[in-house]
Structure 1
Amino acid sequence: MRLTSVANAPVSFGVFELSDAPPPLTAARMVGAISDAGYEGIDLGPIGYLGTKDDLAERLGGLLLAGGWADLRYSDAAEFEQGLAALDATLDVFDAAPAAPAHLAPRPTLGCSGSPARFARPGGNAPGLEASEWAGYASRVQEAAGRCRDRGYEPAFHHHLGTYVETPEDVERLLELTDVQLCLDTGHLLLAGGDPVTALRDWSGRVGHVHIKDGDRAILAQALADGVDLRELMGRGGFAPLGEGELDLPGVVRTLDEIGYQGWVIIEQDTLPGRRSVERNIADQAANREKLRELGL
């Protein structure tokens, strides 16, 4: 039995939220494109896009659910408490996912709502948490992890540009203060000054989920020079198709094998609605899957 499976995610097609505007493509078309490209799973995306707990399994069309994003404001105790209902709603949908082997069970992806200063200057170019704030932040991450575990799911925390856990040093601090597993995202780490291959080795005992995306530091540098924020960085192609940025993709795949990683590898290529055509996004994700297949994944 192969112990690593490959999924994709709605963000690769410009689907982030349902409240701003209609999605650039229907869920049925996206599921079909992902399945046709040879992926085995899919991330949940915004609640409701892939259906509800009543019809999720049918609408996945044979794909497994790999994970799903739960955004919480760990830096603010009151707002964190208010956001827990959204985490519970995500887990309710997870309960309806098709049965999967234990190592491919869907993982709640714990995301941080972010830092306005870092969102404006992504890549470790703005101050993060004060030393005195880390204990509270970490305790709330631990509380969210416990809430997932109480429901039978093992979560993974996603470090992310524009948030309080952005740089390799931030990740190290979070790992020190919690027992939560890490969703290692190669693109976000690369653009925050990290080396994904080194990180996979150094944090191998804590890596429970992997997002593979490429990154282009030249586009980041120009975005910073122009004074534009993380959203515009994504719109400019800061997260490139695999092989078009600076990610050592063969090194990442080789290291996943070396550390004995088991679970989901989710290809993501964060893009904004309207910046690329639906047809180009579909073609990019088929090509991304083929690049991993050529590397034996």
Structure 2
Amino acid sequence: MAISVAGAPVNFGVFELTPDDPGLVLPTGEQVATALERDGYAGVDLGPVGFLGRGRELRDRLRGHGLELAGGWVDLPFSDDEAFAAALPSLDEALDVFSDALEAHPGRAPLPTLADSGDAQRKANPGGGAGHRLDEEGWDRFARNLATAAARVRGRGLEPTFHHHACTFVETPEEVDEFLARTDVDLTFDTGHLLIGGGDVLTAWERWRPRINHLHLKDVRVPVLREIVGNGGGMIDVWSGGTFVPFGEGDLPMAQLMDDVVASGWDGWLVVEQDLYPVAGSDPAAPYRDSGTNREVLRRWV
């Protein structure tokens, strides 16, 4: 196998934090799948559980558009034992959908994408949580609960991946290093969230490459990102403020990174993510144009 390119519902404004606004024009799962097939993607990320369907509907949608399920987001409060226990049913619900999709997978299996939920202070302070970090006991709880979640995933015949993410307890490069040292779960490398956390994309790719099993590729306007975070903005402001842009319009060193990815012999999913927080009055056709543009840019390598 080699690199397989997937798209994601978040590129079209559909994710767990999409605002409930009747004025928004949002696509259906069928419309997203149709667009990704048109643009030559091999797979699709799950998006909110149920967005692409469940059971036969999901399998028929994937087969009908020649798509495989690449992964899907499941965040859990790993550092809080009581909250983690209460949230485990949401993991089981997501794993039911992954199991539904397995029959439609002739090639790669999807990777359930685990992430931390953070807390109120981390959520309010992208870029490192203003110094609010886990202590030794917090990391012990985190690692123990992550092992429980990973065992649940592996019990379904799937391999988990872990997404370092803004506004969580695994955001900065130092926190990613700590995570990797304490767990056996490999990493979803996300270029956008790494930049939010203060990392260098090329250095981090080289350092973490042996533990990376999933790739999320975003282009980012770094000066816009820094201004929003510097002014005390949260992730909603980052998502809605024009931070994530089509490939080639931001500051991601994409050519060098993709050369490094190919040279490394990367064999896995590459998920294109241009996170979009929809607002009323935005051009509903723009995500479809950007989807095609992003896939076309990647054809130089994939």
SS of the equivalent of 1:78 reads: helix
1:113-152 alignment runs, 5 A limit: 113-126=117-130, 127-152=132-157
Q: Tell me whether 1:5 sits opposite 2:4 in the alignment.
A: yes
Structure 2 residue 187 is the aligned partner of structure 1 residue 187? no
8 A contact 2:95–2:112 mirrored in 1? yes
SS at match of 1:211: strand
Work out whether residues 27 and 50 of structure 1, in 8 Å CA contact, stay in contact via their aligned partners in 2.
yes
| 2-structure distance, mates of 1:119, 1:240 | 22
CA RMSD of aligned residues (A): 1.6
- Report the AA paired with residue 81 of structure 1: A
Tell me how many residue pairs correspond in the alignment. Answer: 293
Comparing 25-34 with 218-227, greater Cα deviation is found at: 218-227
TM-score, L = length of structure 2: 0.92
| Counterpart residue type for residue 283 of structure 2 | S
Pairing 1:200-239 to 2, within 5 Å after superposition:
200-239=205-244
CA contact (8 A) 1:14 1:24 kept: yes
**TM-superposed deviation, 1:227:** 2.3
Secondary structure of 1:46's match? coil
Superposed CA deviations along residues 85-111 of structure 1, whole A, max 9, x for unmatched, are 11111111111211232xx21000001
Tell me the CA shift for residue 19 of structure 1.
8.3
What TM-score do you get using the length of structure 1 for normalisation?
Answer: 0.94
Q: Deviations over 1:55-110 (max 9, x none)?
A: 10112222111011111111211111111111111111111211232xx2100000
2:71 to 57, 67, 70: 67
Match of 2:40 among 38, 42, 60: 38
Unaligned runs of 5+ in 2: none
Within 5 Å, give how 1:1-297 maps onto structure 2. 2-17=1-16, 20-21=20-21, 24-60=26-62, 61-97=65-101, 98-101=104-107, 104-126=108-130, 127-274=132-279, 276-294=282-300, 296-297=301-302
Unaligned runs of 5+ in 1: none
1:74 is aligned with what amino acid? F
Aligned counterparts of 1:125 and 1:218: Cα–Cα separation in 2: 19
Contact 2:116 2:168 in 1 (8 A): yes
Q: Judge conservation of contact 2:173–2:199 (CA < 8 Å) in 1.
A: yes
Post-superposition CA distance 1:211-238 (Å, at most 9, x none): 0001222112221243221111110022
SS of equivalent to 1:110: strand
Structure 2: how far apart are the matches of 1:223 and 1:100? Answer: 43
1 CA distance for matches of 2:109 and 2:68?
9
Indicate the SS of the match to 1:184: strand
What is the CA–CA distance in structure 2 between the aligned matches of 1:244 and 1:138, rounded to whole Å?
38
